[in-house]
Structure formats: C-alpha cells, structure tokens
C-alpha cells in the first residue's frame, strides 16, 4: 500500500473566507487530502483583516497554525518543512518572494507553488510587479500548480521557464454544497463575489441591466467591498458578506446564479472559479460570461448557459421549469464526476508522488 504523503502548505488563508476565494479552495482540497489519508500542516500569516473575520479558526481536517513573523516561523517549523514530502506556497502569501527564497535555500525534498490567481500573477509579472512571487523564482519550483489549465500550462513552461506546470483547478466539497429541492426561491438571479473593477462592467450587463428591464423579478448580489457609487436597482438585494456556511443555502434560494470572470482570466481561459463548482454542486443552473475552456468543463446549453449580453440573460430567465432543472442537474453531475475536493486531492497526490518516487530512486 502506498504510504500517505506529508504536506506543508503556506497559503494566504484557511481560517477566513472574507474577501477572498483562497480559503474555500484550500478547505475543499485539504479535506480531500485528509479523506485520502494524507497529513497536512497549513501555515497562515496572522493578518488583521482576517483576524476579525475568521469563520474557521480551528479546522478539524488538518494541522493549522498562525504566525506573526516569517523568520520566527521558519525557525520553529524548519525541521518539519525539511521532513515533508512537499512544501507548497500559495499565491498572495505575505512576503511571498522572501519566503520562497528562504524555502529554496533550506534543502526541501520538494518545493511547489500553487497559483490560485495565475492570469493575475502573470499580468503582474509582465508589469514588473512581484508582490508574492518573482519572475526569477518560477524555475525554482519542482512543480508550478496552476488555477488555470489549457494553453496556460504551455505558457508557464515554454515562456516563463517553469520546470513542470500542472493544472490544479479549484474544487468543491459536495457534502457542504448539497441540492435542496424544497428550498423556496427568493431570487431569480444572484451573484456571489467580492467587488472587482474588471468584473463590474460584466456584472452591470448581465445582472443589473436585466434587473432594470425586469422589475417584476428579484435579484441579489452578495460580497464585500462594493463602492457606494453603484446604482443598485430597487429589485436587487445586497448582502455584504456571506460566510461559506451560508453559501449552499444562498445558491439553493436562486432560480439561476451568475458566474463572472476577471478580465485577466477571461483572456487566458481555462480558469474556473470555485463559485462555479459550488453553485453547480447545489444543482443551481449557471449563467456565465464566456471564456476559452469553459465548455470543456460544462457543455454550453446542456450544463451551463453562456451569456454574451443582457438579452441572453433575459431569455434564460424565461426558460421553462423542466429545462431549468435539467441544466442544473447536468452541471451537478459534471462537477461530482471530476471536480470534488477529493478528486482534486488525488490529482495533487499523483503529481507530488512523481518527485517523491524520483528522490527515493536516486537519493537526490
């Protein structure tokens, strides 16, 4: 029997889902790793904006520790880091560039990067911004795990110099996102996401304008950091923050839910968000903007509705009930067949074992 892996992850946050998609991504993945029998230590920098918004302060599916100072953390956990089968640094980790340099210098068995923001990362590097990873560091990683797949992986290896690039899409814990056929539908269309300048024009076109044209329907936008100047139609409800424990009920209370993708991710393609998988797991039909690779995951017209503009959204909202339910069921089936946290954990473990076995065979 293959022995379990010992993995250390240094990520942006596991304890707080406030204003980020990293926490829920890590939670599904690590729960999957735990279910597969692997050992995980997650180390999180204690940041004040998360400290007051922790919805999972003591996860029961991994070891978890907060740290205040990078050097003190490395001194305390140095032996554990060197003993681990793999150390994975996530995107947006505070002092990420210095952290990666110091990890690369202490003789790890395997150093990896998990970029949950690949298109944003690459756009920043092109502009000379190295907030959490430097251009020169891409070749330091044994594997560069990417939130984006498809052609992005070729770009990472052939243009950016990655030794090995592997897709590691986000995923969903299906036990946390079950369908609820008996749930009352409070809204005809909803959206869950933190405000972003580059997403807002699409949100305007695919949700706010449909709301203006259909005052008889009900809409909702949940998420923090939306500026005060936005003109919200009277039939659009606002929810400032929705913790993960309430996500499933939120999706189940919608007839349709909207997926909106950041501009950099649309340009590169193959970048499904965790919200896409969460909504689909609940069986809620998804209306989404378009990008390359989306229909490889969820076939258009069968498991998802692609909207190029306001009129497409309005047509979708008038679909007959059997058709609406069929799209939701097809989306759920696709996600459960290959995009659960446990499925993603198996993909990660297979990729990590390649290096583990090579080290065992050669001793280097």
Same domain, 138 and 193: no
**Which of these, 256, 215, 257, lies nearest to 235 by C-alpha position?**
215
> pLDDT value at position 362?
65
Comparing 5-19, 146-160, 233-247, 263-277, which segment has the lowest mean pLDDT?
263-277
Same domain, 286 and 356: no
> pLDDT value at position 19?
82
Q: Which residue has the tokens 């002092």?
A: 95
The backbone torsions φ and ψ at residue 210, rounded to the nearest 5 degrees and listed phi first, read: -55, -35
User: How would DSSP label each residue in 126-174?
Assistant: HTT--SSS-GGGGGG-SEEEES--THHHHHHHHTS--S-EEE----B-T
More confident: 85 or 244: 85
Triad 96, 102, 104: Cα angle to 5°: 100
| Residue 346 burial (C-beta neighbours within 10 Å; 0-12, 13-18, 19+) | middle
CB 99 within 8 A of CB 73: no
Q: pLDDT class for 159, splitting at 50, 70, 90?
A: very high
pLDDT in tens, 213-226: 999 999 999 999 99
> pLDDT value at position 13?
96
Domain containing residue 98? 6-171+341-362
3-state secondary structure of 215: coil
Structure tokens at 122: 């690459």
**Which of these, 331, 279, 321, lies nearest to 301 by C-alpha position?**
331
Structure tokens at 56: 């999972």
Average pLDDT, stretch 292-298?
92
**For residue 96, pLDDT beyond 80:** yes
Same domain, 305 and 162: no
The domain total for the chain is 2
Find the length of the chain.
Answer: 364
**Which of these, 358, 215, 334, 246, lies nearest to 283 by C-alpha position?**
334
**Which of these, 196, 208, 304, lies nearest to 256 by C-alpha position?**
304
> pLDDT value at position 364?
60
Q: Where residue 37 sits, what CATH number does that domain have?
A: 3.40.50.2000
pLDDT in tens, 320-330: 999 999 999 99
CB 192 within 8 A of CB 219: no
Q: Kindly state whether residue 267 falls inside one of the protein's structural domains.
A: yes
**For residue 363, pLDDT beyond 70:** no
Q: Kindly state whether residue 64 falls inside one of the protein's structural domains.
A: yes
Q: Kindly state whether residue 179 falls inside one of the protein's structural domains.
A: no
Same domain, 260 and 347: no
Gap between the Cα atoms of 77 and 13, Å rounded: 18
Gap between the Cα atoms of 336 and 171, Å rounded: 10
Same domain, 107 and 82: yes
Same domain, 147 and 223: no
The pTM score is 0.86
> pLDDT value at position 21?
85
pLDDT in tens, 339-351: 999 999 999 999 9
Same domain, 350 and 321: no
**For residue 241, pLDDT beyond 60:** yes
Average pLDDT, stretch 94-99?
98
DSSP 8-state symbol, 300: B
The fraction of the chain above a pLDDT of 70, given in percent, is 98
Structure tokens at 213: 């044209």
One-letter-per-residue 3-state SS of 40-56: EEEEEECCHHHHCCCCC
CB 317 within 8 A of CB 188: yes
CB 161 within 8 A of CB 138: yes
Instruction: Bin 67: left if φ > 0, else alpha if -120 < ψ < 50, else beta.
Output: beta
**For residue 1, pLDDT beyond 60:** no
**Which of these, 137, 187, 184, lies nearest to 163 by C-alpha position?**
137
Same domain, 11 and 62: yes
Average pLDDT, stretch 235-261?
94
231 CB neighbour count, 10 Å cutoff:
8
Average pLDDT, stretch 122-145?
97
Same domain, 220 and 264: yes
Same domain, 29 and 119: yes
């Amino acid at each position: 029997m293959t022995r379990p892996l010992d993995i250390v992850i240094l990520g942006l946050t596991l304890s707080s889902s406030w204003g980020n998609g990293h926490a829920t991504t890590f939670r599904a993945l690590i729960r999957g790793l735990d279910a597969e029998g692997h050992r995980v230590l997650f180390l999180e920098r204690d940041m004040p904006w998360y400290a007051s918004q922790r919805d999972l302060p003591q996860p029961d599916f991994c070891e978890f520790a907060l740290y205040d100072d990078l050097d003190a953390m490395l001194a305390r956990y140095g032996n554990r880091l060197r003993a681990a089968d793999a150390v994975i640094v996530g995107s947006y980790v505070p002092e990420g560039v210095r952290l990666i340099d110091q990890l690369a210098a202490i003789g790890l068995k395997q150093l990896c990067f998990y970029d949950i923001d690949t298109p944003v990362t690459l756009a920043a590097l092109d502009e000379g911004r190295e907030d959490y990873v430097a251009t020169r560091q891409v070749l330091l990683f044994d594997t560069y795990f990417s939130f984006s797949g498809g052609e992005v992986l070729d770009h990472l290896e052939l243009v950016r110099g990655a030794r090995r690039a592997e897709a590691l899409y986000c995923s969903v814990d299906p036990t946390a996102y079950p369908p609820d056929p008996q749930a009352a539908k409070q809204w005809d269309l909803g959206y869950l996401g933190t405000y972003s300048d580059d997403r807002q024009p699409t949100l305007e076109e695919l949700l706010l304008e449909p709301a203006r044209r259909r005052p008889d329907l009900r809409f909702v936008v949940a998420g923090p950091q939306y500026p005060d100047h936005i003109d919200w139609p009277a039939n659009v409800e606002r929810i400032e923050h929705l913790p993960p424990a309430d996500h499933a009920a939120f999706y189940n209370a919608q007839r349709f839910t909207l997926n909106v993708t950041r501009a950099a991710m649309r340009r590169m393609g193959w970048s499904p968000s965790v919200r896409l998988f969460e909504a689909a797991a609940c069986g809620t039909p998804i209306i989404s903007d378009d990008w390359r690779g989306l229909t490889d995951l969820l076939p258009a017209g069968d498991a998802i509705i692609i909207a190029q503009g306001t009129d497409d959204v309005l047509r979708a909202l008038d679909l007959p009930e059997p058709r609406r339910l069929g799209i939701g069921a097809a989306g759920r089936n696709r996600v459960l067949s290959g995009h659960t946290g446990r499925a993603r954990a198996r993909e990660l473990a297979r990729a990590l074992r390649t290096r583990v076995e090579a080290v065992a065979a050669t001793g280097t």
